[in-house]
Chain A
């Protein structure tokens, strides 16, 4: 079914917000306002946006440490996300999590997680919860391609299939686990790792938001109908290094340029122009608006206080 114009506008807006947010984060990192690890999502926007928007607000999202975009699309306030990156008390996790651990339980953003593959087991627990409580919410679990070699990933797929848990595993295959090409790390095809558990599995062009949205919708429908889990391998590419400290010397300039030509935001923009959905001026105005939102987020983070020292022990136990 063709998507209506408002949905396309929403896609574009969300992807652009993610892109501009990450560009600002990179700039702030350069200015030493953000420290620690900081993994940018630039290039992969269609994956988070296309999938999360195929779900509902009461669906759970759990992601890796490259999760700024997932938090934003899930409805977290950009200022609170940026403040978390800055280590401020106004951050989504009150400055206790950081770039890799963005939580907003109310919005059902159940965290970025720092151990590759480990959170896939949490995802099946969240899906189990939905089923136990007879709710029809589903869980989106994002993983990098490198996670498919971890035991936790396999144990989670096995249990999800065995117990029919409404979870959608989305492997964001950006071709590299840090600096190691997937071809040097993964035996066989990633997609077979979903298929072998009898889980409906699909390879998706993760640079194409329409493909991402369609595949996600199908997965969501299956999960809501009877708890069937799904496995999507979203083929995508990160335009920047693994983290801020990575110059990306393991990739050729030609490869990066070739992938950048498939920029998911640019692809959607061209489509919307060709289909006369919006004129050039709309995109310019939107970019201006988004840049202002992101600047406001950075200013908020800048001006926010650090976490109150008295809270240091507050969250260890209830």
Chain B
């Protein structure tokens, strides 16, 4: 086991896959000569050359479409979004092309492509630079969406995404890039669509994803130490396909569920999980499912306002107490 930062783990994943498969290349804004806006692609230009590590103009529609066209014809592009906020400029390419071409060609073309970059709020970046996109893109058949929250998951999920035959969005986080953690030595993959239990408990299930993992864990620790409530925390890791089984198994044991996510509440991931539970585990539920989400507003700039919008440990503890009727 080596201890790596989140960005180093991603860098290793990209480098290993480029080494393994000459069809893999990476393009995006500042990925080459600048070594990556967040240094995820550091050293790749030097190692793989300008044919495979390409700086693009600020032109998300153009270079995302270019990636899709390259994937249609046998290459395996990794498109870096400097942040996923900018993916909305390429929304037509992602939704109308990446997600649809296989289907509307009757299976004749595939889009083995990764679109990756930071997602969600960082700190005081304002309304246009703080989107969580997992619910938006998770909605769309034809796309896969994963959201790693540890260096280990980042490497394993990104490698799986690069090897997948479908378009996969890998949602990273600016706030996590410097986070360090144990990463297994040698080759390993973390499959898309598999969640993980990251905290054991039998009283309540907390389902979370992305960097909300850390909010949920913090809450789980305090629930145990201060309230004697043992929470089972699940990091979904993928949005689509979603590991429904891990959620159902847990809730059938705990009978209560809180979903913690950075998305807005309306049509969010929690809404989907709530539907799943009432449909598949209705008789197991001892309380209505609670959701902890971002507040239903565009992200404000000021520090105190931003903190009011994002899910916090206290919200999770309150929600857990609510499903336990405390």
Chain A residues close to B by CB (< 8 Å): 60, 62, 91-98, 101, 103-106, 110-111, 113-115, 118-130, 132-133, 151-152, 155-156, 158-159, 162-163, 314-318
Contacts and interface: CB of A to CB of B under 8 A. Distances in A.
A125 B96 contact: no
A74 to B, nearest CB: 14
Given A98-B104, A314-B107, 20 more contacts: A92-B106, A97-B104, A101-B104, A103-B105, A105-B108, A121-B61, A121-B64, A121-B66, A121-B68, A126-B70, A128-B69, A128-B70, A129-B73, A155-B57, A155-B61, A156-B65, A315-B103, A315-B106, A315-B107, A316-B141
7 nearest A-B pairs in the assembled complex, by CB-CB distance? A125-B69, A121-B65, A155-B62, A94-B106, A103-B105, A122-B69, A129-B73
Contacts, number: 149
B105 A118 contact: no
A158 B142 CA distance: 29
Given A162-B57, A318-B110, A318-B166, A93 B104 contact: yes
Nearest to B62: A155
Contacts of B59: 155, 158-159
Contact of B108 (A104, A132, A317): A104
A233 B62 CA distance: 21
Contacts of B56: 159
Residue among A62, A101, A127, A132 with most chain B CB within 10 A? A132
Residue among A115, A129, A163 with most chain B CB within 10 A? A129
A77 to B, nearest CB: 14
Nearest to A129: B73
10 contacts: A104-B108, A110-B73, A121-B65, A121-B66, A124-B62, A133-B75, A152-B92, A162-B57, A314-B107, A318-B110
A113 to B, nearest CB: 8
B106 A132 contact: no
B73 A126 contact: yes
B67 interface: yes
A79 to B, nearest CB: 16
B109 A103 contact: yes
A317 B64 CA distance: 19
A267 to B, nearest CB: 35
B104 A125 contact: no
Contact of B92 (A118, A132, A317): A118
Nearest to B107: A315
Interface string B110-149: 1000000000000000000000000000000110100000
Given A95-B106, A111-B101, A158-B57, A125 B92 contact: no
Contacts of A132: 25, 51, 70, 75
B102 A316 contact: yes
Nearest to A84: B106
Contacts of A113: 97
Contacts of B72: 110, 122, 125-126, 129
Contacts of B103: 96, 315-316
Contacts of A125: 65-73, 77
A104 B108 CA distance: 7
A156 to B, nearest CB: 6
A124 B65 contact: yes
A120 B144 CA distance: 24
A156 B92 CA distance: 14
A154 B2 CA distance: 46
A210 B297 CA distance: 60
B63 A159 contact: yes
B93 interface: yes
A115 B75 contact: no
Contact of B93 (A92, A118, A314, A315): A118
A133 B93 CA distance: 23
A163 to B, nearest CB: 8
